[in-house]
Amino acid sequence: MARPNSTRVTEFILLGFTSRRDIQLLLFSIFLPIYLLGLVGNLCLAILIRAERSLHMPMYYFLSHLALMDLCSCCTVAPKMLSGLLKGHDTTPIPACALQMFFFAAASDAECCLLAAMAYDRYAAICRPLHYGTAMPQRLCRLLVVVSYAAGAASGAIHSSMAFRLPFCGARTLDHFFCDIPPVLALACANTDLNQLLLLAVCGAIQSVTLVAIMASYGMILCTVGRAGSQRAVSTCGSHLTAVGVLYGTLIFMYLRPDGTYAPQTDKMASVFYTVVIPTLNPAIYSLRNADVKQAVRRRFGKERCRACCF
């Protein structure tokens, strides 16, 4: 049943985490370093992979695009969140809210697809090393990245366009720190059953298919390295699976649950993981434990020191 009509809403008031000023400033002091670390880490990783010829391999090609997606994700959400914490309040116009929803949804779903491509690449490299060149040609790598971006963009366009075709004519207080899909739909003064169905269908399809592909790939990898007795490879796969588990756990909790179970405070805490924490952790999980990346960093810093000495 539609809600009674009233003045049309042109902007949302973002409540953020809390109204207590001391806690807002405390959260700002915590989230600002995390955001800057994620920003610098992902940007440096993407630049390093593009600059170092030794890293021009499928694994690092995918990793550079994962860094770009993480940059998009955290830069879409964190600056607005930090601004609200610093000022103590925040508002966002409807068009800006729609744009934020689109970019975040697109980056999240594109990342799920890219993680599946990365898992398949690791399967081909570890379980079929003699056929790796034919299993992962450059053409296929580019295609998988394009498909990831296209799937993310399509998902973001569907959710944002369908959400903001609804009328917002009553409450304009958004109990969240960014324009996420569930809290925005909760403010619509019209039936949202179609939106909920699309959320379940589109996000459910992307997340379930990619999760099955990831688990199947890493399952075969673990069987192969387990027989070979490689503890280091098992540890690396374990860290990758932990990162995947945290990401998919929060995404499924947020988007693939029954309508009417939205719990603002719990959902805000879950949202922090996939908007700020995971983009910061990914460079460390996927690259800093990698010998090739460490050697590339040493070579790059070595070149810079030599140039400084020459001057």
Instruction: Between 143 and 297, name the one with better pLDDT.
Output: 143
pLDDT the model gives residue 2: 45
**Banded model confidence at residue 300, pLDDT cuts 50, 70, 90:** low
Percentage, residues of the chain above pLDDT 90: 41
Distance of alpha carbon 280 from alpha carbon 273, whole angstroms: 10
pLDDT the model gives residue 288: 65
pLDDT the model gives residue 262: 64
pLDDT the model gives residue 70: 92
pLDDT the model gives residue 139: 94
pTM, entire model: 0.87
pLDDT the model gives residue 141: 95
pLDDT the model gives residue 10: 84
What are the tens digits of pLDDT across the range 178-226?
999 988 998 888 889 999 999 889 988 999 999 999 999 988 888 887 6
* pLDDT of 124 above 50: yes
Instruction: Between 27 and 298, name the one with better pLDDT.
Output: 27
pLDDT the model gives residue 210: 94
pLDDT the model gives residue 232: 61
**Distance between the two ends of the chain, CA-based, in angstroms?**
73
Q: Which of 35, 97, 44, 51 is nearest to 68 (CA)?
A: 44
pLDDT the model gives residue 1: 42
Average of per-residue pLDDT across 162-183: 88
Choose from 85-89, 118-122, 150-154, 170-174 the range with maximum mean pLDDT. 150-154
**Banded model confidence at residue 3, pLDDT cuts 50, 70, 90:** very low
Q: Which of 69, 66, 83, 91 is nearest to 15 (CA)?
A: 91
Average of per-residue pLDDT across 269-286: 85
Looking at 19-93, list the stretches that DSSP marks H as alpha helix, in order from N- to C-terminal side.
21-51, 58-87
With contact defined as beta carbons under 8 Å apart, do 148 and 72 qualify? no
Distance of alpha carbon 304 from alpha carbon 309, whole angstroms: 9
